[in-house]
Every structure is written in structure tokens, then in C-alpha cells.
Structure 1
Amino acid sequence: MAATTNDSASKFDLSRAGEYELQSRIALAGYDACHELSACMLSAHLGTQGAANVLVVGAGGPAQEITKAGLLQPDWRFTAVDPSEPMLEIARARVAGAGMAERTQLILGRVEDLPDGPAFDAATLVGVLHHLPGSEPKRGILQAISSRLKPGAPLILAGNHRAYASEPLMLKAWGERWRMQGATADEVKAKLGRILQGADPPHSEAAVFALLSDSGFEAPQRFFSSLFWGAWIAFRAGRPN
């Protein structure tokens, strides 16, 4: 659940990679529930077909996208790509610890570096989009994923949406979440300042849906929400009847 461009990946150095999971669990109330439901949504859609090849974009860190879905579906195989080497090493250890190393290929790089073609039965992009500045990089990564999915294949997309400063009550509640976990008032102020300066989420759910539509996806449906965070399933255009 890390960034996927070279500039964004630089934020996920060894220091940040080491604290990523703890910070993510505080920042996202319902961290485990979101990953579990993401796996359940994929399994509900693909489970009857048996084996499946799943593309996990921004896979570095705890690798929950792999370990949760892999627990439900022992015949699934995963191709996981991330441009941050420290984050990918954490994912490698987690995948091995879950006994899923033999069915997971971990690649240091970007999804655009993968071979073209509709090779995958499903994909996930979790915690990535809001790290990419502007609409074009967001659209670019979604298009790169779309071009590598089979028609009708599902995408799990999850991340922050809404302009943070436009929702002052939610932003304040987010700060209270940090304070609830022991952060001081000054620490909360610093954290929110970094968030406001260092992330660029889509400004609405409608903007998320527009990005998906422009990138070859259809029928998006939200299945999880937590303050600014949302999680959706959408499908590569050309769904089979």
C-alpha cells in the first residue's frame, strides 16, 4: 500500500517504511476491515473460477492485499509491484511469513514496466492514488492497470478522496484520531500539516468515478468508507455477458 511513481516512492525510504504499518493503522480507522472486505469482494466475484492471477500495484509494506486474499483463495497467484525497495522488502518478509512466497512474484518497479497485454484476472490499487500529484499521473496509473486486465476483470481501488481542507470537521476528527493514540497537540498539528502539503487526493467520489471511466473501468461501487478514505470495486470495460 505504497506510492508507485519515482517521486512518490522517495517518500517511502527505510525510516518511513519501518513505521508504515503502525502509522497506517492510526490514520485509517478500520484498516484491517478495509483489507478484509477488499479480499472478500474479489473472492465473491472471482471465487468460482478457481485459479486467478492478481496484479497488486503499490504492494510494498504489510502486503495485506496478498495475505488476506491468499488466505481465502489458495489457488490464486499474485504479481506485486512497488518502486520502493525498503517497502518491497517488508512485503517480501510478510508474504514469506504467510507461506505465500511460492505463489507471489515481487517486482521492484512500476506497473508501466510490466509487459503489455490483458494477463490478469484482477488488480488492486490501495493507498496509492492520493500520493500522485494531479489528475494525469492518477489517470496514467489506472490506464496502465486497465491495459493489463482481462475484459470484465475487477479492480479494487482504495485511498483518500475529498480535498482535505474542504472538510474541516473531518480533518479535525482525523487529528483527534491521532490524539486518541497518544499524539500531543503539536504532533497532531505537524502530522496534519504534512498531510495537507504532501498528498493530493481526488476531490470527490465523482472525481474518482471520472478517473475510472477515463481509464477504461465501469460500474464502480463503494464498499467501505472511513473519514476521507474510500474503497471501491470497478470492472475493466467489456465485461462478459
Structure 2
Amino acid sequence: MKSSPLKAIEKFDTSRANEYGRQSRIALAGYDACHDLTACMLAASLGNTSSARILAVGAGGTAQEIIAMAALEPSWHFTAIDPSEPMLEAAAQQLKANKLLERTNMHLGQVDDLPEDKLYDAGTLIGVLHHLEGDDAKRKLLQSIRTRLKPGAPLIVAGNQYAYASQPLLLDAWGQRWRQHGASPDEVKAKLGKILQGADPPHSEAAVQQLMHDSGFGDATRFFSSLFWGAWLTRKTI
């Protein structure tokens, strides 16, 4: 049975939101580097611009993509959208601590809830696609984002790829990383079981590229990789 978008949202409850920052930095080696490079890639893509409006989809939790971009580009403004209220609240707390709430519009809901007549200069979609089951749901989200971007606008897509069980060495290394950070053998086993059952990532980089092409984006440039994780920059086709 296919999981519904609601079930994907329900995974990110208050308990998960409260631990998201620490857990993410263990699960993704190079978490902060990926977000820092996201800011650099978008700045390089947009060139010299006095201001830019950035759509950050799935920014709940740490809001790290916004924090990184705001530090690099003080004139940029952001729209953060997330369907999970606890995750969006956690992001708001991080943005408040970094004095960025005044530069960020916060929206609880789906991308489809945003107006189509206010286009963004760029977008980010980090750590989201692998939580959506099936290519149709992934394409739908990418197409919704595309509708809200200016022609030729860059989009950062980052998340897990590969069918996890097809990469036993990477999966074992992922478990070893948790062990490095103090997880017991039983905790590592539980986390491995959870990742195998709790997500549906694209099964290859070629599959990521195909999803982007099918959704109205051009060829993507990969700029970051860490075990299962990859990060790419693509552009809305005109």
C-alpha cells in the first residue's frame, strides 16, 4: 500500500522535531557543509544581485539552508514552507535565535498552497524527496515548485538516493557512523531497520536526473555527496 502524504507528515512529530538537528548531523556526515555549499551554489548561479527571493521547501527543523544563505547574502529574503507544524516551529526557533525571522515568511502547508503569481528567484528542496513514496508524488512536488520559480531559476535538490538494501557497504558504513557517536548495537540495528522501512529514495543518480527532466528542469550538476546522500543544482527550463 502506498503511504499518503499525511503519513509522511506524521513522521515528523514533536519528538522528531526536537531531536532533528542532532540526529540529522549524525545521519548525514557533512550536514553543515552541504548547506554551506548550497548557499555558495545559489549565489554563484544568481550572480551579482542586490536582492533575491528564495523558496525553501521542507525547511522545518534546523532551517539550516536559510541560515547559511542569509549569512552569505544579507539582502536575500526567504519563504520557508513545511507541512509539519512541530518542524516549522523548530525552524522558527532557530531563525529567531539567528535574528532571521524578519527576513523569512513562514508557511505551514504544501507548496500548492502558495500563490502562483509571486515567483521566486531560486528554490531549495533538501531532505524531502526520499520521504515521498513513488515517483508520481516526487514529480508532483517538483512540478509545484517549478510553477513558483522564475524562468531559468536555479533549484537545489538534496537527499538520499539508491535503494538502501542494494548498497550493503554504504548501509553498514551508515550504521558504523551511528556507532561512532555512541549508539549501542541494538540502537544501530533499530536505526538500520527504520531507514529500510521508512523512506523511498530515487534508486540512482540517473533516476534523480529523470525526475528533474520529467518535472520541467534541466540537467543537474552534483556538488555534494555523502554515502547515500547527494546534492544537485538544476534550473527551471524556459
TM-score if structure 2 supplies the norm length? 0.96
CA distance in 2, matches of 1:59, 1:7: 18
Point out the more displaced range, 219-228 or 5-14. 5-14
Give the equivalent residue in structure 1 for 2:191.
191
CA distance in 2, matches of 1:6, 1:106: 20
How far residue 7 of structure 1 moved from its aligned partner, in angstroms, is: 2.2
How far residue 132 of structure 1 moved from its aligned partner, in angstroms, is: 0.3
Give the equivalent residue in structure 2 for 1:129.
129
Unpaired segments ≥5 residues, structure 2: none
Give the equivalent residue in structure 2 for 1:170.
170
Unpaired segments ≥5 residues, structure 1: none
How far residue 153 of structure 1 moved from its aligned partner, in angstroms, is: 0.3
Give the equivalent residue in structure 2 for 1:28.
28
The one-letter code sitting in structure 2 at the alignment partner of 1:109 is G
Contact persistence 1:50–1:75 (CA under 8 A): yes
Identity over aligned pairs, percent = 62
Give the equivalent residue in structure 1 for 2:57.
57
Say yes or no: does 1:72 pair with 2:72. Answer: yes
CA distance in 2, matches of 1:111, 1:200: 20
How far residue 208 of structure 1 moved from its aligned partner, in angstroms, is: 0.2
TM-superposition CA deviations, 1:98-145 (whole Å, max 9, x none): 111111000000111111146100000000000000111100100000
Give the equivalent residue in structure 2 for 1:215.
215
Aligned length: 235
Partner of 2:48: helix, strand, or coil? Answer: helix
TM-superposition CA deviations, 1:12-34 (whole Å, max 9, x none): 11111101111100000001100
Partner of 2:124: helix, strand, or coil? Answer: strand
CA distance in 2, matches of 1:32, 1:70: 14
CA distance in 2, matches of 1:5, 1:216: 22
TM-score if structure 1 supplies the norm length? 0.95
Point out the more displaced range, 39-48 or 137-146. 39-48
Partner of 1:116: helix, strand, or coil? Answer: coil
How far residue 97 of structure 1 moved from its aligned partner, in angstroms, is: 1.4
CA-atom RMSD in angstroms? 1.1
TM-superposition CA deviations, 1:64-102 (whole Å, max 9, x none): 111100111111110110011111111111111111111
Give the equivalent residue in structure 2 for 1:106.
106
The one-letter code sitting in structure 2 at the alignment partner of 1:182 is G
CA distance in 2, matches of 1:7, 1:52: 34
CA distance in 2, matches of 1:47, 1:76: 13
Contact persistence 1:118–1:150 (CA under 8 A): no
The one-letter code sitting in structure 1 at the alignment partner of 2:7 is D
Contact persistence 1:5–1:83 (CA under 8 A): no
